[in-house]
Structure 1
Amino acid sequence: MSLDIPAALEDGLARLPTRVAAILFAVYLAIGTISTVIGSTLSRAVVDALQTTIPADATAPTTPGMGGGAFALDVSLPVAVALFLAQVVLAQVVGVVAIRTFVSDARASFPTGLTSHLPWVVLNALVAGFVVNVLIGLGAILLVIPGIYLAVALYFVQFEVIVEERNAIDALRTGWELTKGDRLAVFLLLLVIFAIGLASAVPGILLGFVGAPTLVVTAVSVALGAVAGLIGVAIGARAYVQLKPDGWSPGLGSPSPFA
């Protein structure tokens, strides 16, 4: 099938005023908050570690924890790295749940098969995501256009891992094939998703510019980021369904504990 952008947008947005989307929004808020804290914690730990290894300028005294911000935890660098890696895995688990939910027709309750082969899928999704990001990065370094092209062509690789339960290597091939003939449409769709994400960042930037309290700026940024993230996944999932063959349906068979 070919990609119908207005239909993907309409179908994706129609899945937001539902019970499952409301639950996912709460989870996205939690993940956003955790990511903010752990990101600040890692930044603080790195700065503190550098201060212990690089002599400071005698005319520029430093303070322990100066690199982390108001939300940073006071932990060592190894602990901060471990927390960061755990957060990456947790975010990927949430991504699996969200994609499987929006690819299905579930609205009032989560679909069956939500946790099917979850550890294996999460591992392959992380590997696939890493490989795709490396390829995009290399393409962007060589020239910007190849990086953008790869981002478009490989956009549905993680969807193939998560929904079809393919391994990372197979998903690179099938994800590439899925966008053939529709890459311009996928590019335009990604522009819309990018614009939504960009718009969600504007209020937080403006609040910071006018000197609003850090807590307010962070809360607004996390909340709007969760909204934008959920919208992006919903639209992407419905576009993915459009590109699959006629009569296709997600083959997730194990019962969901959340149904």
Structure 2
Amino acid sequence: MSLDIPAALENGLSRIPTRVAAILFVAYLAVGAVSTVAAQTLSLAVVDALQTAVPADATAPTTPGMGGGALALDVGLPVAAALFLVQVVLAQVVGVVGIRTFVSDARSSFPSGLTSHLTWVVLNALVAGFVVNVLIGLGTILLVIPGIYLAVALYFVQFEVIIEEKNAIEALRTGWELTKGERLGVFLLLLVIFALGLASAVPSVALGFVGAPTLVVVAVSVLVGAVAGLLSVAIGARAYVQLKPDGWSPSLGAPSPFA
């Protein structure tokens, strides 16, 4: 099938005012809050560790708490790193649930098989995401354009891991094949998703500019970010379904009335 961007947008948006999307929104909100705390805590711990390592006669001034934020926890670097890794895994688990839900036709209840081989899928999705990000980073170093091309060509790699339960290496191949002949359309779709991300940053930036309290700025950022994240996953999932062969359907099963 070919990619129909207006249809992907319409279908993605139509999944938002549903029961499953409301539950996912709460999950995305929680992950956003945990991620913010983890990132600020790690930043504070790294800066504090670096300050400790600076010789006493160094000319660079040091300030306690530099690099932290309003939600940073005062813990050591090992604990901060562990917290950050935990939130990475947690975010991936929620991402798996979100993609599987929006690829299916579930609206009032989650699809059966939602947690099928969850540990294996999460591990491979993390590996696939890491490899794709490294490739995009290397491509970006090579005059930017190769990085953009790889971001487009490999956009659905994690979808292949999560939905088809392929291993990371195989998903790189099948994800690449899935976008062949449709990469201009995928690029335009990613522009829309990128615009959503930019728009989601506007409220918190505006609040920061007018001097709103830090906690308010962070709360708005997490709230709007959760909405944008949910929209992006829903739109991407419906585009993924379009690119699969005619007659294809996810093997997750029908919605479960007990979900």
TM-score, normalised relative to structure 2? 0.96
Match of 2:101 in 1: 101
- Distance of 2:87 and 2:116 partners within structure 1: 21
Structure-2 change in CA distance of 1:63 and 1:102 (3 Å): same
Structure-2 change in CA distance of 1:213 and 1:150 (3 Å): same
Summarize deviations over 1:209-239 as a string: whole Å, max 9, x none: 1100001111111100000000000000000
Gaps of 5+ in 2: none
Of all paired residues, the percent bearing the same amino acid is 85
Whether the aligned pair in 2 keeps the contact of 1:140 and 1:147 (CA below 8 Å) is: yes
Cα RMSD after superposing both structures: 1.6
Whether the aligned pair in 1 keeps the contact of 2:201 and 2:225 (CA below 8 Å) is: yes
List aligned pairs for 1:1-259, cutoff 5 A: 1-55=1-55, 62-253=62-253, 259=259
Structure-2 change in CA distance of 1:186 and 1:141 (3 Å): same
Gaps of 5+ in 1: none
Deviation of 1:251 after TM superposition, in Å, equals 1.0
Summarize deviations over 1:16-71 as a string: whole Å, max 9, x none: 00000000001111100001111110000001101110125677654433321221
**Counterpart of 2:96 in structure 1: which amino acid?**
V
**Counterpart of 2:180 in structure 1: which amino acid?**
K
Count of residue pairs brought into register by the alignment = 259
- Distance of 2:190 and 2:59 partners within structure 1: 49
**Counterpart of 1:11 in structure 2: which amino acid?**
N
**Counterpart of 1:165 in structure 2: which amino acid?**
E
- Distance of 1:131 and 1:97 partners within structure 2: 21
